[in-house]
Chain A
Amino acid sequence: MGMNGTVIEVSEVSRHFRIAGHELTALFGLSFAVRRGEFVSIIGPSGCGKTTLLRMLAGLIEPHGGQIRVGGRPVRGPGRDRAVVFQDFALLPWETVLGNVAFPLEIQGLPRGEREERARRAIALVGLAGFEASYPYQLSGGMQQRVGLARALVVDPETLLMDEPFGALDAQTRHLLQDEVLALWQAHPKTVVMVTHDMEEAVYLSDRVLILTARPGRLAREVAVPLPRPRDESVRRSAAFAEAVEDVWSSLRTLVAA
């Protein structure tokens, strides 16, 4: 682990894409750090490179400049210390809930008995006990993302990477799942990096909100969220919450000047 409890270090990271012979800079000179056990949200204008950043943290793609270190080591690909929750759930449609949640353990080569036992526990943790034999198409969006969450938790990662995990859900379901993620995070402390475009969600869940500029994305500002924990519905209605959201919005407003 890094010094001062730093788990994730993003230093001067850049990433380009070639589209139709055109060089597009998605991220340029982005730097920030995340401490162990911290819940950090990343927010910024659409297309500023948030998903790209998360894919680099996950080790799915490499930076073209700068460096990303997780747990003190440069990221060289996906690793068991990190797990990803995807915006579009990314469930295997031909697998049951149990099969989907056990999938990462199957990849790791665990024997069937052990991986199913651990998968059942993770499924219960996200409130889906009884749905082990259901297929994704039989579940609502909220339930599908619970499966996505259980699949990430089953590997007991040190770091959870979430790309707009509630972006595809309706408002009520989103609130419900936010509260459940908070409760899970309190009970099983992990470092979390969450990409979102929802300011209230960012403030409600996070210790810190990182605001990125429009493309090429770099750090515009970071806002420490001064709200007490544990947080619940009463926090959502507090004046301090509204103030923190307003603070984030005041920065974002100037960046999204479209």
Chain B
Amino acid sequence: MAVLLLTWEWAGRRAAGTLTLPPASAVAVALAAQLVDGRFWSAMAVTLQALVVGFALIVAVGIPAGLAAGHVPAVGRALNPYLQFLLAVPASPLVPLFVIAFGIGLAARVATVVVFGIAVLVVNTAAAARQTPTRLIDMARAFGASRRQLFVRVVLPASVPGIAAGLRLASARAVVGMVVSELIIISVGLGRLISTYSATFDVANLYAIVVVVLAIGVGVARSMTWLERRLVRWA
């Protein structure tokens, strides 16, 4: 890390006068100035709002949908084409469609976050539910478990590792969706700052905002890894 920063500083100073790479120290100064600026924080709030609402929707819809798809084969078959589409196709071209459908407000950005993140959670959850060990299902049935008990006491807990992994992957994609929505068409939040600074060649501030976006991504990934470890202590 220290080596990386020093290399960056050195390369930045050598490139002084050009617009490509500011020295690390200049970015640090710019970042410090941003952190005491009210406009930065309101941009941050706008950005995080889409991420939080979008991710909440991903969780609320994705986990039940995944469990249904994995546990009930007919549901799985019905959802599969859409999931494959969402996983295979780059989601960015959909953003303009959301703008047409929802306007340029919060809804379109939330939709982008959801579309980026939800499929991977549904697919992981469904795979885990489907792969509930047959021996455990046999065991529960042999001791008289009802369909409901079988689901609640066997399929659901057996799916927890898959759900946790799905949450981790979905959260990373949701962060990408958050950034993409603000860079394409819907110019608000941190995305707007990035566009502005890059249009005015203010590279130090541009890098400062990029660092913040990266930090959000790392923070989200870290907390999801922590959650995963908490949820799956028995495996």
Nearest B-chain residue to A109, judged by Cβ: B149
Docked Cα-Cα span, A79 to B133, in Å, equals: 22
Docked Cα-Cα span, A219 to B153, in Å, equals: 38
Q: How far is the CB of A112 from chain B (nearest CB, A)?
A: 14
Most buried by A among B133, B142, B144, B234: B142
Interchain CB contact under 8 A, A58 and B142: yes
Within 8 A of B (CB), among A61-99: 78-80, 82-84, 86, 88, 90, 92-94
Docked Cα-Cα span, A136 to B234, in Å, equals: 8
Instruction: Tell whether A106 is near chain B: CB-to-CB under 8 Å.
Output: yes
Interface SS of chain B: helix, strand, loop or mixed? helix
Interchain CB contact under 8 A, A84 and B144: no
Docked Cα-Cα span, A94 to B138, in Å, equals: 17
Nearest A-chain residue to B231, judged by Cβ: A94
Instruction: Tell whether B39 is near chain A: CB-to-CB under 8 Å.
Output: no
**What A residues does B144 contact at CB under 8 A?**
78-80, 104, 107-108
**What A residues does B141 contact at CB under 8 A?**
60, 78
Interchain CB contact under 8 A, B139 and A86: yes
Question: What is the total number of residues of chain B having a CB less than 8 Å from a CB of chain A?
Answer: 19
Docked Cα-Cα span, A246 to B192, in Å, equals: 85
Q: How far is the CB of B232 from chain A (nearest CB, A)?
A: 8
Within 8 A of A (CB), among B57-95: none
Instruction: Tell whether B29 is near chain A: CB-to-CB under 8 Å.
Output: no
Q: Contacts A135-B234, A137-B234: A92 and B142 contacting too (C-beta < 8 A)?
A: no
**What A residues does B107 contact at CB under 8 A?**
none
Interchain CB contact under 8 A, A78 and B142: yes
Other-chain residue from A90, A93, A107, A108 in contact with B138 (beta carbon distance below 8 A):
A90
**What A residues does B158 contact at CB under 8 A?**
94
Q: How far is the CB of B154 from chain A (nearest CB, A)?
A: 7
Docked Cα-Cα span, A86 to B142, in Å, equals: 10
Docked Cα-Cα span, A58 to B136, in Å, equals: 14
Q: How far is the CB of A20 from chain B (nearest CB, A)?
A: 19
Nearest B-chain residue to A108, judged by Cβ: B144
Q: Contacts A90-B136, A94-B157, A94-B160: A107 and B142 contacting too (C-beta < 8 A)?
A: no
Interchain CB contact under 8 A, A107 and B139: no
Within 8 A of A (CB), among B153-173: 153-154, 157-158, 160
Instruction: Tell whether A16 is near chain B: CB-to-CB under 8 Å.
Output: no
Other-chain residue from A55, A88, A104, A135 in contact with B143 (beta carbon distance below 8 A):
A104
> What are the 10 tightest A-B residue pairs by CB atom distance, in nearest-first order?
A90-B139, A104-B143, A90-B135, A84-B142, A94-B234, A94-B157, A58-B142, A107-B145, A78-B142, A93-B234
Given contacts A104-B144, A137-B235, 10 further A-B contacts (CB under 8 A): A58-B142, A60-B138, A84-B143, A90-B135, A92-B153, A92-B154, A94-B160, A103-B143, A107-B149, A137-B234
